[in-house]
Amino acid sequence: MPVVDLNCDLGEGFGDWRMGDDAAMLGIVSTVNVACGFHAGDPQIMADTFAAAKKAGVAIGAHTAYPDLQGFGRRPLPYSPREIERLVAYQLGAAMGVAALAGHRITHVKAHGSLGNRATEDVSAAEAIARATKSVDRGLVILAIAGTEIERAAERLGVKAIREIFADRAYTTKGNLVPRSQPGAVIHDAKLAAQRVLAMLKAGAIIADDGTKIPTGIDSICVHGDTPGAVAMAASVRQALSEAGYTVQAFAS
C-alpha cells in the first residue's frame, strides 16, 4: 500500500494574533512546519503547537525564515549565505529546544516564504540551509520543493531531501510554480486540487498546466493552512488520497 505525507504550515500566530485553524489542520495532515519566531511564532505558541501535534500524532518541523515579523517572511531580504546558515541554525535549535520541553521531536527543516523561494534557485542559499541543518543534527531531513535547488543542495551535502508538490498551485512547463500574479496560478477548487495530486502521484511527475510531465519522486503533498477554504481543501486532498489507496503518513515516522 503506497505511502505519502501530507504537510502544512502551522503555529503562524504571534502574541495574541492567530492565523488559520490549527486545530482543524492537525486532524487532517501528517506533518506540520512550525514557525520559529522569525516570521511568526513565539516560544509560547511553538510549545503549544508542538504539544498539540504530539497529541494528534503529527510530525513537526522547523519552518525557518528571514527575521521579518512585519512582512511575514515574504519579503526578499539581502542576507548572505553565511548569514542564512546562522539564521537557520538559530531557528532550528530553538525549535528543537522547545520541542524537547514539549515532549515532541523535530524531524525536518523547511524554508518559508522569501527564503524558501530563494532556495529553489539560489544554489548558495540552498546549500546554506542544508549546511546549517547538517551541522545542528545529521538525522534531520529537509522538506524541499521537488525538482529545485534546495533538493539538490540537500543531496549534495548528504542530507535527505523529502520532495513535496503543491496541491493548489499550477506549475510551468519547467516545473516551477506559476507566479501568483498570473491567472490560474492558484487552484481554489478542492476537488480539482485533489484530482491533480492523484494524477501527479500516479505519473510520478509534476504535471504542468500545459500537460508537460516533469518526472520526480513525490514524498509529500503540501496544502495551505491559512487561506480561505484551507481546511476544506486539505480534507478533500486527504480523502482523495485515502480513497485512492494511499496511506497518509509522516515521512519520518
Cβ proximity to a second copy, 125 vs 132, nearer residue: 132
User: What's the closest the beta carbon of residue 137 comes to a second copy, in angstroms?
Assistant: 8
Among 27, 55, 57, 86, binds a second copy (CB under 8 A): 86
47 three-state secondary structure: helix
| Sites for a second copy among residues 105-124 (CB under 8 A) | none
DSSP states of 204-247: TEEE-TTS-EEE----EEE--SSSTTHHHHHHHHHHHHHHTTPE
* Residue matched to cell numbers 494511499: 246
Q: Is 123 exposed, middle or buried (0-12, 13-18, 19+ CB in 10 A)?
A: middle
Query: Torsions phi, psi of 132, nearest 5?
Result: -60, -45
Q: According to the binding rule CB under 8 A, does residue 78 interact with a second copy?
A: yes
User: What's the closest the beta carbon of residue 71 comes to a second copy, in angstroms?
Assistant: 6
Interaction mask 26-55, a second copy, x per CB under 8 A = -----------x----xxx-xx--------
> Would you say the C-alpha torsion 214, 152, 253, 104 has a positive or negative sign?
negative
Cβ proximity to a second copy, 55 vs 75, nearer residue: 75
Q: Containing H/E element for 168?
A: none
User: What's the closest the beta carbon of residue 156 comes to a second copy, in angstroms?
Assistant: 18
| Sites for a second copy among residues 122-161 (CB under 8 A) | 131-132, 135-137
Under rule CB under 8 A, how many of the chain's residues touch a second copy? 43
Among 3, 24, 54, 67, binds a second copy (CB under 8 A): 67
